[in-house]
Chain A
Amino acid sequence: MDTVQQILRHLASTDRGPATLPQALCVACAASVPVSGVGMSLMSAHGPEEVVAATDEVATTLMELQFTLGEGPCVDASALGRPVLQPQLRRAGSDRWTGFVPAALAAGIEAVFALPLHIGAIRLGVLSLYRDAPGVLTPECVSQALVFSDVATQILLDLQAQMPAGDVLHPDLVVAGLGRAQVHQATGMIAVQAEVSMAAALMLLRARAYRTDRSITAVACDVLASTIRFHPLDEDDD
């Protein structure tokens, strides 16, 4: 089994082309642990935030679904501060994650292993591993995956340490084009329109995306374009 130092050394000595360090880590993890793909995302106290890296489209979908729905194994792993291993998503049923399970199965995800990236009480993000076929990971594989999650935490900190102490995220920690900014802007608009708190506004946005079976980013763009307008709760929200 590779140690944190061995993996870091391997990543440093390999020519990764234009790929960022987090992307290279996800690729190395997917090669070392028998899974279909790996993704890395940042979490805040409010839930999923930025997607940092992913080996493939499905891994991106795994993280995006949870950003849209506000629920799923990665959300739980971050909130509980422990790994959430779901080797048979189909059998888990939709009791635990009403919205997430059917959507993940439809995307071809049959097993999810979510490992929190945290330092004590500070939750930074989640390393998400998925499989397109159900099946448990052996204890050795889980241990190796946990070592990769330690490396992921180290990389997050190393990258952010390169930034001057302030309020700016390292560019390699943000995958452009996923429309996070639009979602937060739309949340602010809904808070004013519906006269609710920011947290409630985000829930309204998520509910609308879920009800209309669209991505949260698509709905957010409609809010920004004033195609969709929210109103205080005693009125119709259209």
Chain B
Amino acid sequence: MITQQHLLDAFVELADTLVSEFDLIDFAHTLTGTAVDLLEADAAGLMLADQRGNLQLLASSSLETRTLELFELQHNEGPCVDVYRTGPPVTNIDRAEVGQRWPAFAAQVQAGTFSSVHAIPMRLRDQTIGGLNLFLTRPGHLSDRDLDLAQGLADIATIGLLQERAVQERQLLGEQLQGALNTRIVIEQAKGMIAAQHGVSVSDAFTAMRSYARRGGQPLAQIARQVIDGTLEPAQLRAASSSSATRTGSEPTP
């Protein structure tokens, strides 16, 4: 029998994982382990739809081959596939019904001597993005309370996924900001180099760099980097700027 305290401890542990240094795979493994403990199940797995809509195993309570196959063989049929396609939970399906609904998948269930299978949707607003898949060998059904608990765990898994996406988005934005900052610096430095190399003003140096970049259809930052690392010869830039200044630049410079 699961005590209230046991339940609370499990949720606190999951919440801790969410806020500390977050690792999605580690989190998902913890969650499947918690599902097995709390629901007295024998195997639990989190299945997630990839970009093509195929279900992939994110994490499972056991890494034994036989357990992994339970999840990985659900390509075209199985409880998680049904949940993903239709939305509502698929619960308390006994062995006989498994054989009728998913004949190809039934062999795996029988080999594992499971008495019932269950799939709880992972929902993101209206969309189902995957499912929590449970297998039981013990007799009896999952009660309404068990199913509420299972849905709670599936919701936490969804929140974990969102957290992962938010973290990645922050990193991407941070990199863009850092990139924008560095690009500014590189362009200013390249202006100074050209000004010193050609003995021209900084604004003329910028004009030369910009017309060269436009002519070649290359980003200004890339030209600036080439100026700084010396892969773009001062003579090439000079040719570009003098021809654009006199507007005779119809011929590409050799």
Contacts and interface: CB of A to CB of B under 8 A. Distances in A.
B192 interface: yes
Contact of A124 (B177, B184, B196, B221): B177
Interface in A185-222: 185-193, 198
Contact of A166 (B180, B189, B191, B197): B180
A8 B195 CA distance: 45
A5 to B, nearest CB: 14
Contact of A165 (B171, B176, B197): B176
B187 to A, nearest CB: 8
Interface stretch (A14-22, A44-52, A57-65): A44-52
Nearest to B220: A167
B175 A122 contact: yes
Contact of B170 (A157, A165, A168, A198): A157
B193 interface: yes
B179 interface: yes
Contacts of A198: 189, 228
Interface residues of A, number: 38
A159 to B, nearest CB: 9
Contacts, number: 100
A124 B178 contact: yes
A63 B195 CA distance: 29
B221 A188 contact: no
Given A119-B170, A157-B173, A193 B185 contact: no
Contact of A122 (B178, B191, B193): B178
Interface in B175-216: 175-185, 188-197, 202
Given A50-B181, A169-B184, A188 B192 contact: yes
9 contacts: A122-B174, A166-B180, A168-B180, A187-B192, A188-B191, A189-B193, A189-B195, A191-B193, A192-B197
Given A157-B174, A188-B190, 12 more contacts: A42-B177, A44-B182, A119-B170, A163-B176, A163-B180, A165-B176, A180-B188, A188-B192, A189-B196, A191-B189, A191-B196, A193-B196
